[in-house]
């Protein structure tokens, strides 16, 4: 069994957009598969026809694709264990449910919702803390264990609605090994007789999951912690179906929690705190509500992956920046943490910045172009690339490029008032004019040369260069902050710089009117 091929699956249900946590689960599955030279499979768990949301499956696939989590088997790509939608596997499950009934490990139950509700109420009133359909209560319910055989047959013959429930043993210890958490032991008396097969002819998660994992030869089940409580039931299912030998290994991942306060991260938190919780924008077909996604918010897929990877997993050293290949290289399930992680949006932004500034200028220029077109700006590729090279150092997102660097394309409309008010003095017109004249005549319009000219001029006029630096920046760009001044001026170019200096001197005049 140790030489078994590693096969893992990401198995979302198509009930809505993919949450951060979902992508992280997919990522860990992917990393583990790649690391082990195995297969990463996508399986759509759409056994609940009532919760089906149109577009959700396509959304999930597009999300995975964007994030670079390519699956080798699944809807759309096929594979020899297909189909990969549970709704298309419907006929496969019944026989296993029947087998369980035949072997006495499951039974028919005819109870209506009202009857189940009644039972729970009754038990609650009787002081039972957690009413459940179990080895005690099933005695009083309508099922093939409590009813006479001929009545059961009659009911089946009449086509009465029924479900098939697992028969949990009365008093057993169920042990399961979790790769992340170690041994977990549960007493069977705490479990309930879960429905395996619904009256609509579909299996529930529990049956479908076990059957499909077996049929698809899944070696490791890597899923969210919310499944841990039902894992013992799954173990029993493998046993009763005779598949214990090839039962997958389990790894239950910790949850991603709200940044503030307590609890699981939800879409509401994102709305409240101003960050996306989904991968892509999602337009809910039912409510019409639009939710923002990381892709549209300006995140680079590499950054998104890196953020998610570090949320619940950590290498033994202090390395924080990982490419997908590096993650594959160092990932192990053993190093996944046990406790939930609060999502930190500030750190997420930091990650994006880290990746953004390593992007080459040609790529950024290309991505930035459409924005420029919106403003009717036309510049050469060469110029645009230089600009990108300067502003990427300051930017968190590509979409910030315009607000950060519009002055590279348009003359300033406004000047930072506080800087003008604070720094402009009677020496300014003469000083800036002198600097400008020298700029006009220099044959070498480079950052280094410009700085020399500027400083010499100041010294000659008995002025402190530092006093007018920020002011100079504002004259050129209108903004108080930005890239290194001289590099900025070099890129903007001689002619344009001359014009901007002259315009500003004219505007602020001899005395340095306080603006406005």
- For residues 415 and 330, give the distance between their C-alpha atoms in angstroms, rounded to a whole number: 50
- For residues 265 and 342, give the distance between their C-alpha atoms in angstroms, rounded to a whole number: 8
Alpha carbon distances (Å) from 428 to 241, 418, 421, 463, 479: 88, 16, 12, 10, 18
Alpha carbon distances (Å) from 269 to 262, 272, 276, 348, 510: 11, 5, 9, 15, 53
* Nearest approach, Cβ of residue 47 and RNA (Å): 4
Binding mask 35-54 for RNA (x = CB under 7 A): ----------x-xx-xx---
Which CB atom, from 4 or from 177, has the smaller least distance to RNA? 177
Binding mask 3-22 for RNA (x = CB under 7 A): --------xxx-x-------
Number of chain residues interacting with RNA (CB under 7 A): 87
* Nearest approach, Cβ of residue 318 and RNA (Å): 4
Question: Which positions ≥6 away from 443 have C-beta within 8 Å?
Answer: none
Among residue numbers 102 through 121, which ones bind RNA (CB under 7 A)? 111-113, 116, 120
For the CA atoms of 30, 33, 37, 43, what is the dihedral angle to 10 degrees?
-90
489 close to 498: Cβ distance less than 8 angstroms: no
> Strand pairing of 163-166 and 290-291?
unpaired
Cβ-defined contacts of 238-244 (< 8 Å, 24+): 238/210, 238/214, 240/100, 240/103, 240/105, 240/106, 240/166, 241/96, 241/99, 241/100, 241/210, 241/211, 241/214, 243/210, 243/214
* Nearest approach, Cβ of residue 3 and RNA (Å): 28
Residue 64 C-alpha from the chain's centroid: 10
> Which member of 199, 281, 366, 498 binds RNA (CB under 7 A)?
199
Among residue numbers 53 through 82, which ones bind RNA (CB under 7 A)? none
Residue 310 binding RNA, by CB under 7 A = yes
* Nearest approach, Cβ of residue 70 and RNA (Å): 22
Among residue numbers 435 through 494, which ones bind RNA (CB under 7 A)? 455, 465-466, 469-470, 473, 479-486
Which CB atom, from 151 or from 378, has the smaller least distance to RNA? 151
> Which member of 39, 57, 134, 192 binds RNA (CB under 7 A)?
192
- What are the residues facing 166 on neighbouring strands? 106
- For residues 450 and 467, give the distance between their C-alpha atoms in angstroms, rounded to a whole number: 17
Binding mask 246-285 for RNA (x = CB under 7 A): --------xx-x-x--xxx---------------------
> Which member of 270, 340, 429, 478 binds RNA (CB under 7 A)?
340
Considering only CA atoms, which of 221, 208, 236, 7 is closest in space to residue 92? 208
Alpha carbon distances (Å) from 342 to 250, 264, 304, 346, 348: 24, 9, 16, 12, 12
* Nearest approach, Cβ of residue 486 and RNA (Å): 6
> Which member of 103, 130, 503, 514 binds RNA (CB under 7 A)?
130
**Interacting span for RNA (CB under 7 A) from 69-77, 124-132, 137-145, 427-435:** 124-132
- For residues 8 and 435, give the distance between their C-alpha atoms in angstroms, rounded to a whole number: 67
* Nearest approach, Cβ of residue 311 and RNA (Å): 6
- For residues 335 and 507, give the distance between their C-alpha atoms in angstroms, rounded to a whole number: 62
> Which member of 20, 64, 106, 186 binds RNA (CB under 7 A)?
186
Residues 267, 369, 394, 494: which is the catalytic one? 267
Which CB atom, from 240 or from 343, has the smaller least distance to RNA? 343
Annotated active-site residue 267? The verdict is yes
Length of the chain: 516
3-class DSSP string for 53-84: CCCHHHHHHHHHHHHCCCCCEECCCECCCCCC
Residue 429 binding RNA, by CB under 7 A = no
> Which member of 121, 200, 378, 417 binds RNA (CB under 7 A)?
200
Report helix, strand or coil for 209.
helix
Question: Which positions ≥6 away from 9 have C-beta within 8 Å?
Answer: 29, 40, 41, 42, 43, 213, 216, 218, 221
> Which member of 341, 377, 379, 463 binds RNA (CB under 7 A)?
341
* Nearest approach, Cβ of residue 148 and RNA (Å): 20
Binding mask 141-180 for RNA (x = CB under 7 A): --------------------x-x-----------------
223 close to 248: Cβ distance less than 8 angstroms: no
- What are the residues facing 313 on neighbouring strands? 336
> Which member of 72, 188, 217, 230 binds RNA (CB under 7 A)?
230
> Which member of 59, 133, 278, 355 binds RNA (CB under 7 A)?
133
Which CB atom, from 242 or from 263, has the smaller least distance to RNA? 263
> Which member of 16, 21, 74, 312 binds RNA (CB under 7 A)?
312
Question: Which positions ≥6 away from 470 have C-beta within 8 Å?
Answer: 419, 423, 480
Which CB atom, from 4 or from 464, has the smaller least distance to RNA? 464
Which CB atom, from 3 or from 223, has the smaller least distance to RNA? 223
Among residue numbers 356 through 415, which ones bind RNA (CB under 7 A)? 357, 393-394, 404
Residue 134 binding RNA, by CB under 7 A = no
- For residues 171 and 191, give the distance between their C-alpha atoms in angstroms, rounded to a whole number: 10
* Nearest approach, Cβ of residue 51 and RNA (Å): 5
Catalytic residues: 267
């Amino acid at each position: 069994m140790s030489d078994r091929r590693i096969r893992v699956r990401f198995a979302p249900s198509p009930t809505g957009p993919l949450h951060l946590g979902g992508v992280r689960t997919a990522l860990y599955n992917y990393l583990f598969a790649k690391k082990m030279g195995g297969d990463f499979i996508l399986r759509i768990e759409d056994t609940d026809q009532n919760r089906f949301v149109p577009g959700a499956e396509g959304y999930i696939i597009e999300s995975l694709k964007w994030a670079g989590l390519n699956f080798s088997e699944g809807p759309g790509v096929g594979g020899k264990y297909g189909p990969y939608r549970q709704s298309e596997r419907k006929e496969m499950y019944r026989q296993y449910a029947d087998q369980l009934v035949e072997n006495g490990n499951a039974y028919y139950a005819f109870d209506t919702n009202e009857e189940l509700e009644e039972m729970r109420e009754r038990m609650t009133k009787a002081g039972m803390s957690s009413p459940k359909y179990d080895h005690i209560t099933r005695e009083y319910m309508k099922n093939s264990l409590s009813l006479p055989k001929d009545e059961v047959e009659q009911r089946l013959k009449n086509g009465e609605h029924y479900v098939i429930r697992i028969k949990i043993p009365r008093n057993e210890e169920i042990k399961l090994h979790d790769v992340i958490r170690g041994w977990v032991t549960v007493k069977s008396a705490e479990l309930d007789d879960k429905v395996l097969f619904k009256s609509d002819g579909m299996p529930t998660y529990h049956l479908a999951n076990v059957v499909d994992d077996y049929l698809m030869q899944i070696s490791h089940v890597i899923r969210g912690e919310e499944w841990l409580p039902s894992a013992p039931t799954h173990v029993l299912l493998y046993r009763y179906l005779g598949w214990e030998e090839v039962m997958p290994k389990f790894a239950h991942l910790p949850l991603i929690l709200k940044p503030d306060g307590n609890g699981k991260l939800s879409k509401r938190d994102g709305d409240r705190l101003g960050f996306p919780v989904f991968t892509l924008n999602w337009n809910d077909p039912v409510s019409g509500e639009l939710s923002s996604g990381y892709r549209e918010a300006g995140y680079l897929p590499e950054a998104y992956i890196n953020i998610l990877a570090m949320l619940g997993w950590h290498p033994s050293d202090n390395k924080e920046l990982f490419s997908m290949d590096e993650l594959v290289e160092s990932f192990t399930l053993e190093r996944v943490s046990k406790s939930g992680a609060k999502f930190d949006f500030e750190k997420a932004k930091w990650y994006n910045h880290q990746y953004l500034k390593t992007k080459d200028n040609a790529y950024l220029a290309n991505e930035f172009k459409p924005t420029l077109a919106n403003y009717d700006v036309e510049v050469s590729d060469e110029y645009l690339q230089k600009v990108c090279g300067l502003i990427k150092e300051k930017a968190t997102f590509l979409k910030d490029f315009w607000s950060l660097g519009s002055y590279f394309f348009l003359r300033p409309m406004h000047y930072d008032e506080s800087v003008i008010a604070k720094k402009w003095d009677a020496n300014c017109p003469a000083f800036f004019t002198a600097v400008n004249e020298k700029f006009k005549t220099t044959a070498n319009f480079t950052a280094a040369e410009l700085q020399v000219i500027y400083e010499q001029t100041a010294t000659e006029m008995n002025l402190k260069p530092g006093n007018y630096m920020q002011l100079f920046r504002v004259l050129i760009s209108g903004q108080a902050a930005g890239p290194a001044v001289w590099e900025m001026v070099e890129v903007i170019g001689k002619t344009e710089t001359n014009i901007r200096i002259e315009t500003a001197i004219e505007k602020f005049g001899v005395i340095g009117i306080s603006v406005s």
